[in-house]
Structure 1
């Protein structure tokens, strides 16, 4: 995460130094499916602007995956740079860019007397605690559309919708019970991991929707 914060600081710093005191330089805040974030925008030529920023958020959600009840946590963290092609005399634009992607999912099994792991049933002592994690590609392409509205001379409203290509998630699953080192249990644990993999595979294409405001100083 430290690396992504440094990247975001560098991108925003470069944008500020290149376009300070420029009417085409804007700083903004936004919120959406990637979390809460900030961005800098600069228009070097008419109908094209360049943007860089960072998004982040963390939340918990409980649920059942592959027949096991889990306590879930999602950590969202992305640093991005995009190019935005604007349609003349219209608020509409087309966006393409690259994201440094730190989105992660983690699951911890909830206590119960037995667990169905793969096709076998095990006691809580045999399983212990199940811990699963999912990570994605470090670099993810983005494509989308957006609308920019100038509300005042120094205030703008922005709406974005697109898709982030995170790639297929890398899913891990571990157990720390008395059967954790048993070869047969490991086979069932791998079958359970594959079920988890299938259940989160849809996240390789992550929907991005956001709304934000920008300011010109």
Structure 2
């Protein structure tokens, strides 16, 4: 039996061409790319990175917020191709996706948690990010990054980030210490409300498309 195993393995390796490739892509995880290589027949490994920063403004009551969405994802994936170009994909993603805000009241007073405060020098900061910095990924896709030539590829799946956590803090400027304590208490109430509203956000949707060059 042992004498048969070695020739069988050599025949398997010789009968299959192992390749590698690179891909560039864009989608809900940002702009980035992948490096992939064959590991077994119908199986390939893939390492990828993507990032993107988007800036904007949000107005809430009389507070103007500078908003920023930062996408940052490093992935290690295994692709299984049971049906030609169609595949199943699983792996891990180190995700730094974050939404941040910096707000300043636009007139003499502002409201927080139903209470009114003087806006003298007040600055409110906050961010929302995933609970799990390293999270499992599951999805389906089309195309092989390690396939020969120039090809299209796409991914549809989810990063199971386990929900989101919110942080809010305030710089009280010239306000009296007692009023600053009240603002921070109200801000903490707002933070808990925000985090409760994000409990259902346990998966980051992934939809990416790109082009590959294999060799």
Aligned residues: 193
Q: Which residue of the partner structure matches residue 191 of structure 1?
A: 189
Deviation digits for residues 88-138 of structure 1 (CA, Å, limit 9, x no counterpart)? 3x321111110111112210114322322112121212x701000123222
Q: Aligned pair in 2 of structure 1 residues 65, 191: CA closer, same or farther (>3 Å)?
A: farther
Q: Which of these residues, 201, 205, 210, is aligned with residue 212 of structure 1? A: 210
Deviations 1:48-88 (A, max 9, x none): 11111111111113225699542210111111101111123
| DSSP 3-state at the match of 1:204 | coil
Indicate if the aligned counterparts of 2:111 and 2:117 stay in contact, CA closer than 8 A.
yes
Does the Cα contact within 8 Å between 2:18 and 2:38 map onto a contact in 1?
A: no
Question: Unpaired segments of 5 or more residues in structure 2?
Answer: 1-16
Give the structure with the larger helix fraction: 1
Q: 1:155 to 1:180 in 2, by over 3 A?
A: farther
Q: 1:201 to 1:70 in 2, by over 3 A?
A: farther
The correspondence for 1:133, drawn from 117, 127, 132, is 127
For the residue of structure 2 that corresponds to 1:87, the secondary structure is strand
Q: In structure 1, what is the Cα distance between the partners aligned to 2:38 and 2:160?
A: 26
Larger-Rg structure: 2
Structure 1, 183-192 or 33-42: larger mean CA deviation:
183-192
**Tell me, which stretches of 5 or more residues in structure 1 are unaligned?**
1-21
Aligned to 1:10: none
Question: Take 1:61 and 1:200, find their aligned partners in 2: how far apart are those partners?
Answer: 21
TM-score normalised by structure 1 residue count: 0.79
Aligned residues: CA RMSD: 2.5
Cα distance 1:52–1:86, how it changes in 2: closer, same or farther (>3 A)? Answer: same
Runs of 4+ off more than 4 Å: 64-69, 199-203
Aligned to 1:166: 161
Give TM-score, length-normalised by structure 2.
Answer: 0.79
